[in-house]
C-alpha cells in the first residue's frame, strides 16, 4: 500500500472510530482490510482507499471500521469487576434509590453481549434486588456484533471462557453445536448501535457504566472527552468501571478512584460499603 494511503486510512479511522494506529501498523491494516477489498472485487488496498476518498460509500467505510476493531469479549471478563458490582456497587447504590427501585446500567462497548449479559445474570440471581427494575443498555459502534448479542448464541469456546458451569447449566440451552442464552436474560438488555465519539449524552443518565477495554484504543484527548461526557451522565455516587489496562489518571479529575476497588471510579470517590 502506498504510504500516503496508509496515512489517509489511519486518519480516517481515528476520526470516525477513535482508533489510533501507530506508524508501524501497516501490516495490521493490510491483513484486516485485504478481505474487505477482496469481497468487493477490488484489486488491492490502494483501490479501496481511492474509493473511500472519492465516493461517499458509507457501507465500505463501515466495513473498514468493523474490520479494524477488536471485538474480543468473554463472560465475567477479569471476574473482579463483576464481584465488585455484586458485593459493593449494589449495596452502595441501592439504599439511596429505594423510592424508585430502579438502576440504570450502561455497557458502553458491549461487543457480542458477554459483558451486559454477565451483569444481567448477576442481577437475576440476587434475591436482594427482588422488586427492582434494571435498565441495562448495551451499545457498540458495530451493529454486526450487536446482532450477535441479541441472538445470544455462543460457541462452546465462548461459553468455556469465563462462564461458571452452574450458570451455563442454568441459563443456556444447547442448540446444535452452540449454546443459546435464556430469553429472560436476553430480555434484560436492550441494544443500540452507538459511536462513543458521538454525542453520548443523548443516551441519558446511568447509575453504573461499564466502559471496559475500549478506551485503550483511543488517543488521550479522545479518552478525556469521553470520560468527561460520562461524568455528566452520572449522579455523584454513580460508578464507572474501566478495563484492567485503563485509568482516569492523567486524563480527567472529574472521576476519582474508589479506594480499594481497582478500576472503579465515581465522581465523589466515596468509599464503597462493605458487602452485607
The three cell numbers locating residue 187? 430480555
Tell me how far the alpha carbon of residue 241 is from its chain's centroid. Answer: 11
The DSSP string of 140-168 is ES-HHHHHHHHHTEEEHHHHHTT--HHHH
Any bridge partners for residue 180, and if so which?
153, 173
72 binds ligand SAM (CB under 6 A): yes
Q: Is 151 in the site for ligand SAM (CB under 6 A)?
A: no
Q: Is 118 in the site for ligand SAM (CB under 6 A)?
A: no
Q: Closest CB to ligand SAM among 20 and 60?
A: 20
Q: Does 239 bind ligand SAM (CB under 6 A)?
A: no
Q: Which is nearer to ligand SAM, 17 or 239 (CB)?
A: 17
Query: Minimum distance from CB of 240 to ligand SAM (Å)?
Result: 13
Q: Grid coordinates in use for 47?
A: 483501490
Nearer to ligand SAM, 97 or 150 (CB): 150
Would you state the cell numbers that stand for residue 104, as one nine-digit string?
A: 440504570
Angle between helix 45-54 and 3-17 (nearest 10): 50
Do residues 161 and 170 touch, judged by C-beta distance below 8 A?
no
Site membership for ligand SAM, residue 113 (CB under 6 A): no
**Cα 250 from chain centroid?**
22
Q: 65: how many CB neighbours lie within 10 A of its CB? A: 18
Q: Which is nearer to ligand SAM, 113 or 238 (CB)?
A: 113
Nearest approach in angstroms of CB 22 to ligand SAM is 17
Nine-digit cell string for 264: 472503579
Out of 49, 84, 118, 213, name the contact with ligand SAM by CB under 6 A: 213
Q: Which is nearer to ligand SAM, 212 or 223 (CB)?
A: 212
Q: Which residues bind ligand SAM (CB under 6 A)?
A: 17-18, 69-73, 77, 109, 111, 115, 140-142, 145, 195-197, 212-214, 243
Amino acid at each position: 500500500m502506498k504510504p500516503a494511503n496508509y496515512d489517509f486510512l489511519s486518519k480516517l479511522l481515528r476520526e470516525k472510530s477513535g482508533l489510533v494506529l501507530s506508524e508501524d501498523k501497516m501490516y495490521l491494516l493490510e491483513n484486516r482490510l485485504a478481505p474487505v477489498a477482496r469481497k468487493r472485487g477490488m484489486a488491492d488496498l490502494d483501490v479501496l482507499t481511492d474509493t473511500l476518498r472519492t465516493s461517499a460509500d458509507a457501507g465500505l467505510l463501515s466495513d473498514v471500521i468493523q474490520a479494524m476493531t477488536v471485538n474480543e469479549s468473554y463472560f465475567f471478563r477479569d471476574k473482579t469487576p463483576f464481584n465488585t458490582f455484586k458485593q459493593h456497587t449494589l449495596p452502595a447504590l441501592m439504599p439511596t434509590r429505594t423510592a424508585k427501585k430502579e438502576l440504570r446500567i450502561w455497557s458502553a462497548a458491549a461487543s457480542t453481549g458477554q459483558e451486559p449479559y454477565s451483569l444481567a445474570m448477576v442481577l437475576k440471581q440476587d434475591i436482594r434486588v427482588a422488586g427492582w427494575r434494571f435498565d441495562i443498555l448495551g451499545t457498540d459502534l458495530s451493529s454486526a456484533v450487536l446482532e450477535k448479542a441479541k441472538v445470544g448464541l455462543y460457541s462452546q469456546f465462548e461459553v468455556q471462557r469465563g462462564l461458571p458451569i452452574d450458570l451455563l447449566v442454568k441459563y443456556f440451552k444447547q442448540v446444535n453445536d452452540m449454546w443459546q442464552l435464556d430469553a429472560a436474560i436476553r430480555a434484560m438488555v436492550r441494544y443500540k448501535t452507538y459511536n462513543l465519539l458521538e454525542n453520548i449524552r443523548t443516551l441519558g443518565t446511568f447509575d453504573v457504566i461499564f466502559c471496559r477495554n475500549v478506551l485503550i484504543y483511543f488517543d488521550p484527548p479522545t479518552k478525556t472527552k469521553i470520560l468527561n461526557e460520562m461524568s455528566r451522565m452520572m449522579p455523584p455516587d454513580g460508578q464507572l468501571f474501566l478495563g484492567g489496562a485503563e485509568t482516569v489518571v492523567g486524563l480527567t479529575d472529574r472521576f476519582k478512584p474508589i479506594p480499594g476497588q481497582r478500576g472503579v471510579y465515581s465522581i465523589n470517590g466515596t468509599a464503597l460499603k462493605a458487602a452485607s
